[in-house]
A and B are shown apart, each in its own frame.
Chain A
Amino acid sequence: MALKLSDYKTDVHNDWCPGCGDFGIVNAIQMALAEINIPRHKAAIFSGVGCSGKTSHFINVFGVHTLHGRVLTFAQGAKIANPEMTVIAAGGDGDGLGIGAGHFVAAGRRDVDMTYIIFDNGVYGLTKGQASPTLKLGEQTKSLPKPNTNYNVNPIGLAVTSGFTFVAQGYSYDVRHLKDLIIAAIQHKGLAFLNVLQPCPTYNDINTRDWYAGIDQVDEAQKRHSRIYKLEDQKYDPVVHYDEESELNEKLSQALIKSLEWGNKIPIGIFYKNELISQYSERLIDKIPNYLENPPANQAISSKGKPITDVSKILDSFEV
């Protein structure tokens, strides 16, 4: 029996602020799971700590609300031990690009087949609005006593240069587009990164919903121009089609240049996609040929309470 969207929702009370961009992201994840109809026990959402960390409690699949900054480590461990699971990691930009930045880079290099979604709002909401890694230098959001003294991280650029093989950006108020991006990310073979621009109505009074909608950008005809535009509308081709350095370099640099767009025009969509690089499971298969048929989580280790692993050859070599 096909599962309905409601099957992926829990009845846990959601305590995010009214108007929070997080709602759109949770809805998009639930819609994506329902659309590709993943059995509930075959999916796991791992989340970090912060407002977005609560995401896993609202989705009716396995939910692991982890530690601040460490969500990728838990998620990779689970996926590697049980590659049959669909694994989605989620967390804030402070979680993933501040305290967890080292794991972000390392995960890119590893390319485990899963999806990582960053809720990018420029502030640490749950601790009352401090500057997060994506806030621009010199900006002063509502609760900051002084302007931000750090340069911002470029999440898309960092992902592209860290080895992520699918890099995309969504906007939390364009839920349908976001849902499609999540499906593409899940179906990508390798580690997919999805940065979601998400207004924090309580603490980020700069990058607001109105700001993204461009109400301050009015032309001579009094027409508003949204800051957000879609890469696919511009015939942007993110895919690395063949395994040659020139092709790879072209697609990487094109994504990097696009990632720098901010201000009046902000792109969403898929920036970069490369399935020609081996994902982690393939690298494991090179060493352990039956890894996928007999992964750690499925292995029999005992019979009637006794071990069945035969180490006699190793012990023979130690015998004197």
Chain B
Amino acid sequence: MNSVDLTWLIGGPQGSGVETGANIFSRVCAEMGYQVFGKREFYSNIKGEHSYFVLRVSNKKIHSNLNDVTLMVSFDAETIFRHYDEVISGGALIYDSDLENTTSDEVHTLDQHFKSRLHKELEAKNKPFTITGVLELTKEKGVNLYPVSFRSILSNLADDTKNPKLKGLIRMFNVIGVSLSLGLLKMPPDSLLKSIGTIFAKKPKVAEINKKAANYSYNLATAQFNSFNYSLPGTTKEPHTILVQGQQGTAIGKMVCGCRFQSYYPITPASDESMFLEEHEILEIEGDRPGSTVVIQTEDEISAIGMMIGSALTGTRSSTSTSGPGFSLMAEALGYAGINEIPIVITLFQRSGPSTGLPTRHGQDDLLFVINAGHGEFPRIVYASGDIEESFYDTGRCFNYSDVFQIPVIHMMDKFMSSSVVTCKRFDPDKVTIDRGKLLDKIDGNDYRRFASTDDGISPRSKLGLENGIFWNTGDESDEYGHISEDPFERVKMMDKRMSRLGLIIKKIPKEDQIVTFGVHDFTIISWGSPKGPIIDALDMLKNENINVGFIQFKLLHPFPTEHTKSLLKDTKTIIDIEANYTGQLGQIFKQNLGRDVDYFILKFTGRGMTSTEIYDSLKKIIENKAKKREVLTHGA
């Protein structure tokens, strides 16, 4: 079978169904056996601004997007203006022919910054500032153009079905675009119709009309479009493949590992997790009556963490999900959980800061903040997942860590992961274990001390409601009962007790759960979070050229696994730090702990996720000794 590896891009104004279109396309490809990796980009806006979705489809395992777009479909002018130069020679552009005369000035959502760059480019090539202008450039590059009047499709469809209402149904432009694309790619049509049925399952009438439009457009493409070099005839399906989106890994992870309370305040890109949990709030429990996750939308993030702490004190596994601005508000209460040894899990979907920053764009610029957030000194765990599949299993780990070490755990996710759609192996709940540490369900005697001294610094934990287990908590320093104490010796005892668990954490968490090693070579990458996927694919590309570059993925970022890192990298000559921020925050921690400099940084802080193409290019430059110490990536509209 021929290998397939192509990238499809769909764009349009926010609210026009770009995401639904992309969901249909992703589902069809996945059902036909392909692996997919998709990513959505959007503005902080409800309706009108440009959003787009890039989907890579392959019959081998893929973990990232590439720079090159093979097939682009657009039903608005803005998508063409913004993305025309991403389509490769030999690729294709399906577009709405009614847009040909549109000038760049007529597209009000094109911002001045972009327009001046575009005009400069067109001017240099002597082209008018119109869709026709950019189409000429595209054609000269060797891209196949497939003009279709989307409105005539609607009116023909209206005539054929004797339903004049269809003429104005421009909401179906997305399904038309998807169907034209699949027709061009010769994807068998059954799966398309089935996927439309699945996605509009709750609206059968809408499904019916969309199926008609899909059928019509698909047939139009197969009948009228010239042959195209790329096709998706279907391939062998990997058994137990699921198609999942961003926050579903952590959400389902929370259900499985027994999180029964989630408080949250709405924030992009984290709220979808809470809404998913609430949608599925009633849980099936093996051998028991139904369980439930209580999901509370609070008045702010301070309340979210306060409620979570209150709930955690009852022995309930409790969590919140937020992003940088919300986490900032939680800093004070984080210290409260620290000094009172309360197990909580904060799922942090990072976006670009500072302040509101790029509110709907990707970033990994919160690492140093999260490690240091809150005044005073207290232990915490900062743990990062690298992809959605991993995030399911890591969620269970984070809850175990919080229970076993009785500390707050911050589970680092990011916007790149949260707005990705990927195929992966079905999550396996049997691989999750639940360890509640020293949580008690019965106490005898009448001298319970919540913060009693023990050999490992961790005290048996009571919970609100437990007989003979009365305790006190306070944000002040306290004695073993939890009553306020300003005694200098008690202070030293309690600080030692709490801080000693940083060493314990490094000792107890298995090394393979601290750092995941993808080989160590003369050149070795250190990274964390979502760059994992693009790095793995870039390393594969280099391997094809017989170049081996190592990669170690940090999951445990605090406390830092210094000795393990040292031993892993002892023979490495060149260390390359890859992350989505300005200052190379992992590199800074690395230097602080190992006393060793990172040799190269590959950084991206445009708010767009990394592609394997740009990582490959930068690595090549480093290997060929042509790179700057700090390579900054900028791909993506």
Q: What residues make up the interface of A, taking CB atoms closer than 8 Å to B?
A: 10, 12, 39-42, 44, 46, 49, 54, 56-57, 60-67, 70, 72-82, 84-85, 102-103, 105-106, 284, 287-288, 290-291, 293-297, 299-303, 305-311, 313-315, 318-320
Contacts and interface: CB of A to CB of B under 8 A. Distances in A.
B332 A305 contact: no
Nearest to B303: A73
A67 B474 CA distance: 8
A62 B470 contact: yes
Nearest to B278: A287
B197 to A, nearest CB: 13
Contacts of B476: 65
B434 A302 contact: yes
A74 B306 contact: yes
B314 A297 contact: yes
Contacts of B31: 320
B310 A75 contact: yes
Given A76-B307, A106-B303, A315-B242, 5 more contacts: A12-B483, A81-B314, A103-B303, A297-B463, A320-B243
B318 interface: yes
Between A64, A75, A81, A287, the greatest number of chain B beta carbons within 10 A of the residue's beta carbon is seen for: A81
Contact of B256 (A12, A42, A305, A307): A307
A320 B242 contact: yes
A56 B481 CA distance: 13
A77 B292 contact: no
A288 B294 contact: yes
B255 A309 contact: yes
Nearest to A45: B472
A305 B309 CA distance: 24
Contacts of B286: 303, 308-310
A296 B261 contact: yes
A291 B318 contact: no
A44 B464 contact: yes
Nearest to B399: A301
Interface string B467-486: 11111111110000011100
Contact of A299 (B291, B336, B396, B472): B291
B590 to A, nearest CB: 34
Interface of B: 27, 30-31, 237, 240-244, 248, 252, 255-258, 260-261, 263, 280-294, 296, 298-300, 302-303, 305-318, 332-333, 336, 396, 423, 426-427, 429-430, 432-436, 463-476, 482-484
B279 to A, nearest CB: 10
B291 A67 contact: no
A80 B252 contact: no
B241 A315 contact: no
A216 B312 CA distance: 51
A41 B466 contact: yes
Contacts of B307: 73-74, 76-77, 80
A308 B248 CA distance: 19
Nearest to A102: B299
A141 B105 CA distance: 64
Given A54-B484, A67-B332, A296 B290 contact: no
A1 to B, nearest CB: 14
A153 B326 CA distance: 28
A278 to B, nearest CB: 16
B3 to A, nearest CB: 20
B472 A63 contact: yes
Contact of B288 (A79, A296, A308): A308
A303 B432 CA distance: 12
Contact of B287 (A291, A308, A319): A308
B292 A288 contact: yes
B66 to A, nearest CB: 22
Contacts of A85: 314, 464-465
B306 A318 contact: no
A305 B300 CA distance: 35
A79 B311 CA distance: 8
16 contacts: A57-B472, A62-B464, A65-B474, A66-B475, A74-B313, A77-B307, A102-B303, A103-B303, A288-B281, A288-B294, A294-B290, A297-B311, A301-B291, A305-B433, A306-B434, A311-B429
Given A80-B296, A81-B261, A309-B283, A296 B470 contact: no
A310 B255 CA distance: 9
A85 B333 CA distance: 23
B243 A80 contact: no
A12 B242 CA distance: 58
A293 B244 CA distance: 34
A318 B243 CA distance: 5
B309 A77 contact: yes
A310 B282 CA distance: 11
Contacts of A10: 483
Pairs A-B, 4 closest by C-beta atoms: A73-B306, A301-B258, A77-B310, A77-B307
Nearest to A293: B289
Contact of B484 (A41, A57, A288): A57
Given A57-B483, A73-B307, A106-B299, A40 B470 contact: yes
Nearest to A63: B472
A56 B472 contact: yes
Given A291-B294, A296-B316, A77 B475 contact: no
Given A70-B302, A82-B465, A308-B286, A296 B311 contact: yes
A73 B310 contact: yes
B467 A41 contact: yes
A171 B549 CA distance: 74
Contacts of A73: 298, 302-303, 305-307, 310
A291 B285 contact: no
Contacts of B310: 46, 64, 73-79, 81
